[in-house]
Amino acid sequence: MLAKMPDFSKARVLVIGDVMLDRYWSGKAARISPEAPVPVVHVKTIEDRVGGAGNVALNIAKLGGKVTLLAVVGDDVEGQTIKRLLEAEGVTCEFVVEKAVRSICKLRVMAQHQQLIRVDFEDLPLKFDEEALFTRLSEHLSEHKVLVLSDYGKGTLANTSKHIRAAKQAGLKVLVDPKGVDYYRYAEADLITPNLSELQAVVGACEDEQGLIEKGRELLGQHQIPSLLLTRGEAGMTLIQENEAHSLPAQAKDVFDVTGAGDTVIAVMALGVALDMPLAEAMYLANLAGGIVVGKLGTSTVSILELSRAMHGDRDSMYGIVTEDELAQLIARAKAHDERIIMTNGCFDLLHAGHVTYLQQAKALGDRLIVAVNSDASVKKLKGDSRPINGLQERMTVLAALACVDWVLAFEEETPERLYCRLLPDVIVKGGDYSSGQVAGGDCVIKAGGEVKILQFVDGQSTTAMINKARATE
């Protein structure tokens, strides 16, 4: 449906709702307690993640959107942790901090990637200065295009109708992840995103697809809401509007944990609405994102690279011979996925076994191997007028066909220094009797935190030897 990924950096989204800290204690359970028939977990790691409305905001930020989060936290360590985790990812936090409020924390004890128990720390409903929260909302409406209400029923959104009216008057689109059965509170929102069980708790059980759509439309009509995005688990998603309905099959290959999947869905929908995308196209991306996040353990987010790969398949849409600008974008995507970039350069005229062994050794140092190839003109300057034997395009085509090579590009200069300084791979690989200080571009890469590796060529293998041997047999 979409040819390329939208530029989410132009989206401005305001999120308000219940925020919480998701804490994970993980380890191994190898025995049963002698005190009670329960497993004993030897905790090895403790990890904190942000849940609820915080996870919605985090998903928006991870995809490049600009997001402000309004929420209520306590004057405690958990509240401080929530803010620290969010701000570290670029989320602007406008919290109402209440001394009498306990920040919500959900502790999950995990063993062998299975949840054994969840322990909730919360005092509900939240009691806070509602006017202070509304004042913060009013101050930020003009800076944003979309308001997301992330309702987990904890009390932050007790005054939902007031928030929706203010946002609509300011010209914002309003998206709601609802809770409970009182949908009058969400009247005049632009889009609601219940899951199937949440919707049926309001409209009753539906016998078939058509019944589901009809009851969804009745609900929309009752509350002056134009659109409903229904998440249906293994049945995918359905977008219900007054005169049309669209369904998409589920995209998840393996469902590992559905925690926070709804947060990811509404985050992607909000980004799409903020960019004025048709709702059907935004749903397409949200469906892909939901399929990704349920394959992860615990409260999780989706990255641009993961979403792009879901659109275009497991392999990048571009391999082999690329331009310099294309390569810069591919490197950025690879690094965002924590892939280690290796780069080397050379003439590679009359490719031989020594070249192949060298390139295989280079690829073994990381995840991606880039080969920069001297142009025909630069080879002549380096090797003389009789070289190259094979033209640039031929040399690049052979290199691109090697399994160990990901991307190949040409450069015109006598040395690749400018190229290395622009692209900044993690490792420059050079063959022969060099020191790292002699490698063109090495200083730039080392300064950026990379390194230079020197590999030894295979004895007795060289292009010159091949040419001399061929001439001797003439």
Evaluate if residue 313 carries a pLDDT over 80: no
SS3 95: strand
Please return the burial class of 113, using the count of CB atoms within 10 Å of its CB with bins 0-12, 13-18 and 19+. exposed
State the average pLDDT over residues 331-344: 88
CA distance 305 to 332: 9
Across all residues in the chain, what is the average pLDDT? 88
- Annotated active-site positions, please? 263
Bridge partners (DSSP) of residue 371 are 344, 408
Q: What are the pLDDT digits (tens) for 185-232?
A: 999 999 999 999 999 999 998 878 888 899 999 999 999 999 999 998
CA distance 464 to 470: 10
CA distance 404 to 197: 49
pTM equals 0.67
Q: What are the pLDDT digits (tens) for 263-298?
A: 999 999 999 999 999 999 899 999 988 888 887 766
Confidence of residue 315 (pLDDT cuts 50, 70, 90): very low
Q: Look at residue 3 in the predicted model and tell me its pLDDT.
A: 54
Q: Look at residue 293 in the predicted model and tell me its pLDDT.
A: 82
Q: Dihedral angle at the C-alpha atoms of 152, 156, 159, 165, nearest 10 degrees?
A: -80
CA distance 115 to 25: 10
Q: Look at residue 386 in the predicted model and tell me its pLDDT.
A: 74
State the average pLDDT over residues 52-71: 95
Q: Dihedral angle at the C-alpha atoms of 74, 80, 81, 84, nearest 10 degrees?
A: 140
- Between β-strands 105-111 and 92-98, what pairing exists: parallel, antiparallel or unpaired? unpaired
SS3 429: strand
